[in-house]
Structure 1
């Protein structure tokens, strides 16, 4: 995209509006570039305009894109009645009962129901599951030969979330293990495209997506019936049972359809992003011997300060989800010097926040010490989004990554490499290592700390 194709000055499109510079490239071309190379597009426009600019992109239409932490803070703090859920959103894949579909009071009430299973004492119950699933997957890893870590991480995180949600194993969960991975892969690719108005025939990928959905709904119906019939239902601590027993403040409960949509959100969104971050973690530490040595030394203890700092730095340096979005519902919203009219979308570029030199000096350097003994600025470090729509499973994902890394480092010696950094690969929504986070490991004769 030509850097000379955008205006030098803000323009106004309605009375009282004051917009950032507007990209003047034809809408169709903007759309093609956004779908095929959105990070490169945003990088170039950020170099050209800095903190804010306007683009006209697929599905979201006229969109103000923000790249500065101070502006992100305003977006995250703005009343959701004024700056609400982006339109369209991921509910087109997860369903109308998903938290991604909700706004305002409905969103607040749903988050209140979703929060307890993923915070506090409940987290300790899941740590054993994470270690068990990691050790089960590690049993088949090659010794001393390079392999891609992304797919094993996908299996680990999917099995973890399945056990956390349903509390047990069985034929139904085996069916979900078959249907969820291809569904997530296909859904991630299709979500950046508008759904066609009509069926395109036997090869229509949207038809295949809906077929996966029908299979999923059949399995969930069976699992709900089984849970309710369990004589120990009132004592069960799995997420499905907690949802079935939960109630809103007015005493009403989530419908089976809403529960199905919400569980699908947790299954899909909850495992792909965490697995992708873990694959990036192995890609990063295998290329930074000093970081790896510090992690190995810590893995022999009960500490995790440096491991936590490393996870934060991986999430910053290799951003998996690069945008969080809002929709302007108020007649006008003020963000910084800009006045944005109703109907516009507002996207915060998480990738650009993470490259902000004011917050992260020399941002291209991989340096976990940025976060040792320090909490990140949640308006500059935002892999889970921000504000009222920040990912409800953030603490769970952090715990998963911590335990998986600790378990692997205790049982395997990760070999370092001088190979070039893996390129970033777009899966549609998530960005993963192009070669799958390829590393070589050697099994330790005696696990660390044993």
Structure 2
């Protein structure tokens, strides 16, 4: 932990002439840039003074809101007050026209309803058997012992699960390798520079555009085929999106369905791979919690047998806390962005009030929020027990104390689906393998838009049957 005293070099506080309340203090950009290389290459979590401050660079003002006390309006404000701005325009080349951030907010909100309905709890239950089948089949191909890069293994396995639950049997059974490769190209073509210059014709963007065009062609063909077919409807998310209708009664279009399914798979593939990998790296370097997770699986087998279904997954409280703690320490998205469409006031924990002007870019940094020492005891330590019933530090800290899945009006709709996938994978691994992390604990790759473990994460395995007595 390194203290970077960004807040000590600030410009004088400016008052808002209309309200007489001060604007957020402005961090000296030179002081910020001094530490930027270290933040990006070393993965340093800075300790700063103050929970509200503005960084100004080339006329662009970005105000950081750190901690739950100053985050309520950021997460709960109406879209007319707090919007998602235009920063996410870089996703348009990834997902295509007519969906996501290529359309107005009202239409995007209507589209979001299809996503929510497609993976709501009542439908999640139907996916568990498919997930379990994919996991069992995948790990059945492992030998009696060996060494693998679990990040690569999880990427492929989670894509198989997506192929089964989201994309349908046409992809899963007939063109998985091609689709997996194309999504990998799509993923690898996006870097930090893509956020600022999403359309610049660099080689990675050209490869990304080609991959998107091929994926769009594949899924468009599947959508047309299903709509023209008299076969019974499939029970996957793709079919649900095909059958959905807009509020005006019109059917979803081929372009919309294609863009939605690409965006769902892209987002889920990357975030779930990283989350599953971090969970494993944390468990395999903390014997106490690994033992507790193993004991819980023994109890699950005693209580439910070898069978795993939706209710059994809900019963895995210890594994749930282990996953949640890994994501507290290693959130996939380091920062959430919004834009102030109207001015508003924030009040800090110390009682200071600041005016946030209209037009300010707003940042909620999860890499800071999840490690605040007045909310989380020893925040730099991996301690899943902090979420156990007797402590529940995130609940004691209040709303928006834990933001790994966002919060409020734009909370991640795939949270339950993500936990379910990770539980299915790690419950199977704990039951059937002795595991050891062979490589050093992975560092964070800060050069990515979505943070991931750096390099390979090598784990040795040996088959076993978990005893139940």
- TM-score normalised by structure 1 residue count: 0.87
Confirm whether residue 175 of structure 1 aligns to residue 178 of structure 2: yes
Work out which of the residue numbers 415, 420, 432 in structure 2 matches 1:411: 432
What SS does structure 2 have at the residue aligned with 1:325?
Answer: strand
Tell me which residue corresponds to 1:65.
64
Q: How many angstroms apart in 2 are the aligned matches of 1:329 and 1:270? A: 30
Shift of 1:78: 1.3
Contact kept, 8 Å, 1:172 with 1:219, in 2: the verdict is no
Distance 1:443 1:370 in 2: 32
Pair 227,109 (structure 1): closer, same or farther in 2 beyond 3 Å = same
Question: Shift of residue 86 of structure 1?
Answer: 3.0
Give the 3-state SS of the residue equivalent to 1:301 in structure 2: helix
Would the aligned equivalents of 2:7 and 2:50 in 1 still touch at CA under 8 Å? no
Report the alpha carbon displacement of residue 221 of structure 1 after superposing the two structures with TM.
Answer: 1.1
Deviation, structure 1 residue 65: 1.3
**Contact kept? 2:99, 2:108, Cα under 8 Å:** no
Show structure 2 runs of 5+ residues with no match: 301-314, 348-352
> Who is 1:318 aligned against?
330
**360, 366, 372: which one aligns with 1:344:** 360
Structure 1, unaligned runs of 5 or more: none
> How far does residue 367 in structure 1 lie from its aligned partner after superposition?
1.0
8 Å contact from structure 1 (residues 319, 431) kept in 2: yes
Change (3 A) 1:53 1:306: same
Distance 1:87 1:297, change over 3 A: same
2:445 to 425, 432, 441: 425
Cα deviations by residue, 1:146-176 (Å, 9 ceiling, x for unpaired): 4321111111111111221222124344321
SS in 1 for 2:216: helix
Residue 383 of structure 1 corresponds to 404
The DSSP-based 3-state class of the residue aligned with 1:191 is helix
Please say if residues 188 and 430 of structure 1, whose CA atoms lie closer than 8 Å, have aligned partners that are also in contact. Answer: no
Mapped partners of 2:41, 2:11: distance in 1: 22
The Cα shift of 1:37 comes to: 3.7
1:297 corresponding residue in structure 2: 295
Do the aligned partners of residues 3 and 73 (structure 1) sit closer, same or farther apart at CA in structure 2, a change above 3 Å counting?
Answer: closer
Instruction: Tell me whether 1:354 sits opposite 2:354 in the alignment.
Output: no
| 1:226 alignment counterpart | 225
Q: How does 1:365-404 map to 2 (within 5 A)?
A: 365-373=381-389, 374=392, 376-377=394-395, 378-404=399-425
Report the CA distance between 1:124 and its aligned residue: 1.6
Q: Is 1:434–2:454 an aligned residue pair?
A: yes
Change (3 A) 1:12 1:106: farther
Match of 1:250 in 2: 248
Count the aligned residue pairs. 437
CA contact (8 A) 1:52 1:65 kept: yes
Asked if 1:80 corresponds to 2:84, the answer is: no
The 3 A distance-change label for structure 1 pair 118 and 4 is closer
Deviations 1:234-282 (A, max 9, x none): x322111111111133323332222222111111111111110111111
Alignment partner of 1:49: what SS? coil
How far, CA to CA, are the matches of 1:13 and 1:102 in structure 2? 34
Alpha carbons of structure 1 residues 196 and 177: separation in structure 2 relative to 1, 3 Å: closer
Q: Could you tell me whether the CA contact under 8 Å between 2:341 and 2:359 is conserved in 1?
A: yes
Aligned to 2:288, what secondary structure does the other structure show? helix
Instruction: Name the CA distance, whole Å, in 1 between partners of 2:77 and 2:330.
Output: 28
Per the alignment, residue 308 of structure 1 pairs with: 320
Counterpart CA distance in 2 for 1:312 and 1:23 is 32
**C-alpha distance in 1 between matches for 2:41 and 2:361:** 18
Contact 1:34 1:41 (C-alpha < 8 Å) held by counterparts: no
* SS of alignment partner, residue 127 of structure 1: helix
User: Structure 1 residue 22 and structure 2 residue 34: aligned?
Assistant: no
Q: Does 1:185 align with 2:183?
A: no
Contact 1:83 1:326 in 2 (8 A): yes
* Range moving further from structure 2, 277-286 or 138-147: 138-147
Matched, 1:335 2:336: no
* CA distance in 2 between partners of 1:104 and 1:179 (Å): 29
SS at match of 1:346: strand
Alignment correspondent of 2:308: none
- Give the corresponding residue for 1:10: 13
Q: What's the Cα RMSD here?
A: 3.0
SS, match of residue 415 in structure 1: strand
Residue 342 of structure 1: how far off its partner (Å): 2.3
CA offset at residue 195 of structure 1?
Answer: 3.0
For the Cα contact (< 8 Å) 2:437–2:458, is it kept in 1?
Answer: no
C-alpha distance in structure 2 between counterparts of 1:56 and 1:381, whole Å = 27
Offset, 1:294: 1.0
Contact 2:100–2:108 (CA under 8 A) maintained in structure 1: yes
d(CA) in 1 for partners of 2:214 and 2:144? 37
Rounded Cα–Cα distance in structure 1 between residues aligned with 2:175 and 2:72: 43
In the aligned structure 2, how far is the partner of 1:265 from the partner of 1:245? 18
The alignment partner of 1:422 has SS state of coil
Instruction: Identify the residue that residue 49 of structure 1 maps to in structure 2.
Output: 49
